[in-house]
Structure 1
Amino acid sequence: MAKISTTYDRRNRLLTLLHERPGIRVAEIAHLLQVTEGTVRNDLNALAQEGRLERVRGGGIPTDDSPIYGPAFTARLHVREAEKQHIARWAAELVEDGDTILMDASTTVYRMASFLNNRRGLTIITNGIQVGLKLIKNPANSVMLLGGMLNSEGIPVTNLVSDQFLKDLHIKTAFVSCKGFTPESGLTEGDILEAQIKTQMIAVADSVVALIDSSKIGRQALVPFARTDQINRVFTDNWLDQHWIDQMRRTCLVFTVCNEDGMVEYNPCAEETRHYRIGFANLGESMPFSIDVRRGIERAAQAAGNIDLVLADNRLDGQTALTVAERFAAQKLDLVIEYQIDEQIGSQIIDKFRQAAISVIAVDIPIVGATYFGVDNYRAGHMAGSALSNWIIEHWAGAIDRLIVLEEPRAGSLVAARIQGQLDKLKSTLGEIPADIQLTLNSGNTFEISEAEMAAALKGMPDAHRIAVVCFNDDAAFGALTAARKLNREQDIVIVGQGADRRVREEMRRPDCRIIGSTAYEPERYGEQLIPLALKILRGEPVPPAVYIEHAFIPAAPEIVNIAQDDPKMENAHEF
């Protein structure tokens, strides 16, 4: 089999293999697709997040995604399929747990449904039967279908639900598409009745987001249903002609150009005359922590108003990070915020940016030659070690049977200080811990690898019932907990995390949680500090070589696990 060139095509081929050969293992898939096993696992996780398969140990099971669609809808669904998928993937990032949203019946908005599988507490109002059928599969959300006369595709095109009913709902965002868009005409439709129902949707939403593939920009259909000044944001694809990018930049419309590997976010209106293009290479889009970092940077860039943000995914892989750096250097960005895992690759990355005269901020993983922003590693570890020591004294009389360390050697010696801080505090409080009861495991910086490593370790120590676990990050902590839970060994372990990301905070609300706490990094607030730091560098203002976030240890207790979001003492960074 020839090597497949794009991620989108490779993942579609992976799904085909799973359909054709149920039970096929990761190693065989990697051989057939001519990629690494790590790439296959990343693809499986991404497809699971999109709702296209169910992740199982060693592989995946494709989901049944074949409700009965009309032939016209099915035909449109596969037109510019990849572009619609990229647009939908990034637009879905605007949806948060608990939102009430409107979604129209278009095939591009339909694609969003797959990316909302992990949201909880949503109320979705739609005039699309296909959209409703897709979303109702998640029982954690509520779906309301707008009634009315159906067209030949089974789409309600007249609304029997009153305007007053819609106005009584607090609708955060309306997601719509169109047949055509120009800055002068706004969004237009080919069907008068469909345009009317979309007009009603837009009128009652706090925010309007348009998902428009590039083939529709520059076209004008029969009936306008939204002016450009009524639209808060547009998502399109990277086939958009430069002429239309320039036209849209003359408006005050925020728009995002999406591609397979990332996106470029244009924020055209700004009081400051100088406009900057800043790249953000994210650690990995499969991790809650790094997703929150990216979202915070997006919010801060929009608030600044004079930043176009170029996004990419390093996929927890040093070589991918190097490829992204080459791409960023070729785009002649003004500054890059680099978040990557491999200390060894850092010198090659910084060399590429130096040659392109691009300033760099390194997030959490230091790079020599870059301004550092992020974790005060030893201090963060010491705080977790203190809490773990106190718990062991209170619950296990200060004694442990085993100590398991879930580390990430790729991150380098400076980041390893967060592990050392935990160990030093344990030893200073509990006394010297014999080497023969300590076990160090490679977390791989992922939940899946941590779970597998921890499961194997637990099976090898059946008589140990007081097992303390220190972790590189919350993915490792959650993986360790999941392994113990599946083996019915939760009561044998106690874990401290690093990061206090939203997934672990949610877990810590559970009674008797064995993750007893996590040192908070507040990834959702990184952007509030990173963007001002970047602007200082770009304006030539002096900045310190390292800017450290402040930390607080978040204990597992339902009433205080949200302290990472609410504590005003944690709002500011301190500089060294």
Structure 2
Amino acid sequence: MLSTIERRHEIVLRTQKLGNVSVKELAAEFDISTVTIRHDLNELNKLGLIVRSRGGAVASTRLTKELSVKEKHKENHKIKKQLGAAVAQFINDGDAVLLDSGTTTEEVAGCLGKHKDIIVMTNGLNIANELAGFENCDVLITGGQLRKKSMSFYGSHAEDILNDYNFNKVILGVDGIDLKSGISTHYEPEASFNRAMCDNADQIIVVTDSSKFGRRSLHSILQLNAIDILITDSGIPQEFIELFEKTNTQVHIVDAK
């Protein structure tokens, strides 16, 4: 039998795929009571992951769809290159950096060729490949199980290895960034690994294009007040700027043209 988290994950995926689901169908599918399913739907509705309807639920337009690495490369590519260059300015010679997997962080990696004596640990196979040609960059890979859709490593082994190092900075990409839910991603083991990355770095730097604001993925990583530096483009909504002013988060905005 699935755990509560696994069952709710499946409910969200099914709702997104079908457009709507009913309490009776879900109860029969998961072989549990309609009372439990209603509770699941109510909790998922509170998180904005589905929209509760009479007798069931419908898909939430705010929930992001997970794209493959190949698909992500095509999405907002020009802006991502600008963001990558901006992030690189916050990395100093001699830094030890944790660099998250993803296509925006891959652009960050591509801008580190002129840095000297830096150490970069990553859980992204594409990131390691990008860094491999830089003479003054020592590259470490976390290891763990490879998730091919995101080309990222995850798991307990990947998390445990972080405890052997002290990092100046962690650079995180996101799938969604929401006022209530904070930053989030689609896959629970990756969310867990991202939290471990943040626990083992002095400074948390989040980079995202503005299309991710106001969107949620299923698994939360951390709340917005934990972010030290946010790097994004000029499409960031004003309500987020106002929030980050209150949390003393340094916001660096790239003029996306």
Structure 2-normalised TM-score? 0.69
Distance 2:142 2:148 in 1: 16
Q: Which secondary structure does the structure 1 equivalent of 2:89 belong to?
A: helix
1:368-400: CA deviations, max 9, x gaps?
xxxxxxxxxxxxxxxxxxxxxxxxxxxxxxxxx
1:122 pairs with 101, 106, 118, which one?
118
Give the counterpart letter for 2:167 in structure 1.
I
Whole-Å separation in 2 of the counterparts to 1:225 and 1:166: 17
What does the per-residue CA deviation read over 1:264-296, in whole Å, with 9 as the maximum and x for residues that have no partner?
A: xxxxxxxxxxxxxxxxxxxxxxxxxxxxxxxxx
Task: Tell me what 2:80 maps to.
Answer: 84
Deviation at 1:252, TM superposition (A): 2.2
3-state DSSP of counterpart to 1:147 = coil
Q: Counterpart in 2 of 1:285?
A: none
The offset of 1:159, in angstroms, is: 4.3
How far the C-alpha of 1:260 sits from its partner, in A, is 5.0
- In 2, the alpha carbon distance for the partners of 1:102 and 1:198 equals 10
**Is residue 2:152 matched to residue 1:155?**
yes
Q: Can you list the C-alpha shifts for 1:351-376, whole angstroms capped at 9, x where unaligned?
A: xxxxxxxxxxxxxxxxxxxxxxxxxx
Q: Which runs of 5+ in 1 are unaligned?
A: 1-70, 262-576
For residue 174 of structure 1, what is the aligned residue in structure 2? Answer: 170
Partner of 1:259: 255
CA contact (8 A) 2:99 2:172 kept: yes
> Deviation of residue 187 (structure 1)?
1.2
- Checking the alignment, whether the CA contact within 8 Å between 2:113 and 2:136 is kept in structure 1 is no
Aligned structure 1 segments of 4 or more residues deviating by more than 6 angstroms: none
Deviation for aligned residue 1:244: 3.3
Distance 1:86 1:228 in 2: 23
* Counterpart residue number, 1:95: 91
Structure-2 residue corresponding to 1:364: none
Which of 131, 136, 150 is equivalent to 2:132? Answer: 136
What's the counterpart of residue 202 of structure 2? 206
User: 1:178 Cα shift?
Assistant: 1.0
Deviations 1:382-422 (A, max 9, x none): xxxxxxxxxxxxxxxxxxxxxxxxxxxxxxxxxxxxxxxxx
What SS does the corresponding residue of 1:116 show, helix, strand or coil?
coil
Partner of residue 223 from structure 2, selected from 210, 221, 227: 227
Q: Does 1:241 align with 2:237?
A: yes
d(CA) in 2 for partners of 1:202, 1:175: 9
Once the two structures are TM-superposed, the CA of residue 152 in structure 1 deviates from its matched residue by 2.5
Aligned pairs for 1:135-534 (under 5 A) are 135-153=131-149, 154-161=151-158, 163=160, 165-259=161-255
Q: Deviations over 1:80-138 (max 9, x none)?
A: 11111111111110111111100011111110112111011111100000000100101
Rounded to whole Å, the distance in 2 between the matches of 1:173 and 1:183 is 23
Task: Tell me the secondary structure at the aligned position of residue 115 of structure 2.
Answer: coil
1:517-556 deviation line (CA, Å, top 9, x unaligned)? xxxxxxxxxxxxxxxxxxxxxxxxxxxxxxxxxxxxxxxx
Cα contact 1:150–1:156 (8 A) shared by 2: yes
Q: CA deviation at 1:180?
A: 0.9
Q: C-alpha distance in 1, partners of 2:136/2:187? A: 34
Structure 1 residues 97 and 81: CA distance shift in structure 2, 3 A: same
Q: TM-score, normalised by structure 1?
A: 0.32
Distance 1:227 1:236 in 2: 17
**CA distance in structure 2 between the partners assigned to 1:73 and 1:189 by the alignment:** 14
Match of 1:342 in 2: none
User: 3-state DSSP class of the match of 2:225?
Assistant: helix
2 CA distance for matches of 1:166 and 1:244?
31
Q: CA deviation at 1:162?
A: 5.2
**Deviation at 1:211?**
0.4
Identity %: 23
Per the alignment, in what secondary structure is the counterpart of residue 134 of structure 2? coil
Aligned pairs for 1:42-53 within 5 A: none
Structure 1 residues 228 and 171: alpha-carbon distance in aligned structure 2, compared to 1, 3 A threshold? same
Shift in Å at residue 72 of structure 1? 2.4
Select the structure with the greater relative contact order (CA < 8 A; seq sep ≥ 6). Answer: 2
Q: Deviations over 1:215-240 (max 9, x none)?
A: 11111211111122221011111122
Name the counterpart of 1:112.
108
- 1:412-459 per-residue CA deviation (whole Å, 9 max, x = no partner) reads xxxxxxxxxxxxxxxxxxxxxxxxxxxxxxxxxxxxxxxxxxxxxxxx
1:213–1:149 CA distance, 2 compared to 1 (3 A): same
CA distance, structure 1, for counterparts of residue 159 and residue 185 of structure 2: 22
Any unmatched runs of 5+ in structure 2?
1-66
Per-residue deviation, residues 131-180 of structure 1 (Å, max 9, x unmatched): 001001012211111111111333212241453x4233220000001111
Distance 2:221 2:188 in 1: 9
CA distance in 2, matches of 1:188, 1:260: 23
Contact 1:218 1:244 (8 Å CA) reproduced: no
